Amino acid sequence: MRTEHPNKTKEELLAELEELRFQLHEATETLEAIRTGQIDALVVHGSNGHQIYTLKSADQTYRVFIEKMTEGAVTLNQEGLILYANSQFASMVRCSLSDVIGLLFQNFVAAENRPRYNQLFEHCWKEDCKGEVLLIAGKDKTPVQLSLTTLALEEGISLSIILTDLTAQKRAQQQLHENNLKLEESNRALETSNHDLQQFASIASHDLQEPLRKITIFSNLLKERNEALSPEAKKYLEKIIESSSRMKTLIIDILNYSKLSANDHTFEQVDLNKIVADIKEDFELLIAEKGAIIRSGELPTLAANKGQIRQVFQNIVSNALKFTKPGINPVIDVKAKRIGEKSFAAAEQKDGNYVLLCFKDNGIGFGQQYVQHIFSLFERLNSKDKYEGTGIGLAIAKKIVEKHNGLINAVSKEGEGSEFQIILPFTQNPV
């Protein structure tokens, strides 16, 4: 026996590696040729000399492979009798292997699926085919997929059927279907609840405003006509009047917020330049009082609910005029640029599908860590005694922007003003 030298040279190792690569390539080509039917026999050199292996003489190898499969497998003759079955198939039909050999395969197919199976059996001799049937397993029925293909074995042309158990898949589909039904039911209940809530908010707001109106009227009458009130009593009366005014604003804001839950998807082409002009007119007195400047660049026209978008602009401008630095005239810049995607980091794009609107002011600002809080319902960062408001305005703005399939964000630093950013699409899909 020849002894291999333990210290081979680099050249020898490379040569051996190249030889192994060649053998692997040759084996790969051989397997591909067998798979595609380019050859039907192999000559193999073994301990007993050269032997020829054909697909027919490879029946045993085929059956060993099938026996190891996790799917059920049967081989049928042209009459549909079972010539061979693996252990997995016997387990699927809850029989012993000896009991299934020689039986018609259709005996294991549920009666209601036999017409479908017969169609598959007739068609598969022409080309491979697949279909689903129920497999009889004792007193139960198991959903399976049949994969039928012809096969050349020692006995001649036979039919190979691979059976894949679909129980887990069907169970998952059923669970998904049930979950979808529950989700639909929950959505209907939620819609009903939202409708009831809107009705309640509307009625409650109306009913609350009437007694509140009387409180305000009689408080003012008492203040104007009763000179005998002490300074302390007058102070208390002023607080009643101020609180009544705040409550009225709060009721109106709650009513406006509740209305946004309604399915109001009425969109039209809205000129945002006209919206800004209207806002300037609305705040004309306050702008003059504070010496404020509102500068606006060229804004686009897009599909929107005009009243709702106007409310967004109004709430943002109102905040900018409210949260100002003492002794400094407020300046508000409104700009727009077209972008290609719904992202605040998106680059400008001439024919983009979205617009990024920026409202920048020189007010008191706020810490960036509070940016998520300011869009929450009733959230306030400042004392109500120092700055008026209900804490609902920006929550309303956020809800309106989201109903328009857009995004809203704020960038701010305490003492250095704020910038509110809004992304809106130019078009809205009809609902």
What is the overall mean pLDDT for the chain? 78
For position 264, what pLDDT does the model report? 57
For position 335, what pLDDT does the model report? 93
E-only strand ranges, 140-284: 140-153, 156-165, 268-271
E-only strand ranges, 47-88: 49-54, 72-76, 82-85
For position 215, what pLDDT does the model report? 82
Alpha helix (H) ranges present in 260-339? 272-282, 284-290, 306-322
Residue identified by tokens 């719904």 is 342
Q: Against a cut of 0.75, is the pTM above it?
A: no
Can you list the residues of the chain whose pLDDT is less than 50? 1-5, 31, 34-37, 39, 41-42, 44-45, 52-58, 378-390
418 φ, ψ to 5°? -135, 155
- Tell me how far apart the alpha carbons of residues 108 and 129 are, in angstroms, rounded to a whole number: 19
Asked if 344 and 423 count as a contact pair (C-beta separation under 8 A), the reply is yes
Cα–Cα–Cα angle for 277, 279, 285, rounded to 5 degrees: 110
Alpha helix (H) ranges present in 72-162? 87-92, 97-100, 114-123
DSSP 117: H
Residue identified by tokens 């010496």 is 291
Domains along the chain? Answer: 59-165 (3.30.450.20), 167-262 (1.10.287), 265-431 (3.30.565.10)
For position 353, what pLDDT does the model report? 92
* 412 three-class SS: strand
Pairing of strands 331-339, 407-412: unpaired
Residues 6+ apart with CB under 8 A from 307: none
Residues 6+ apart with CB under 8 A from 383: none
DSSP 347: P
- Helix pair angle (231-259, 167-225), 10° resolution: 150
Residues 6+ apart with CB under 8 A from 359: 313, 316, 317, 320, 332, 333, 334, 419, 420, 421, 422
| Encoded tokens for 288 | 């003059």
- Tell me how far apart the alpha carbons of residues 93 and 108 are, in angstroms, rounded to a whole number: 7
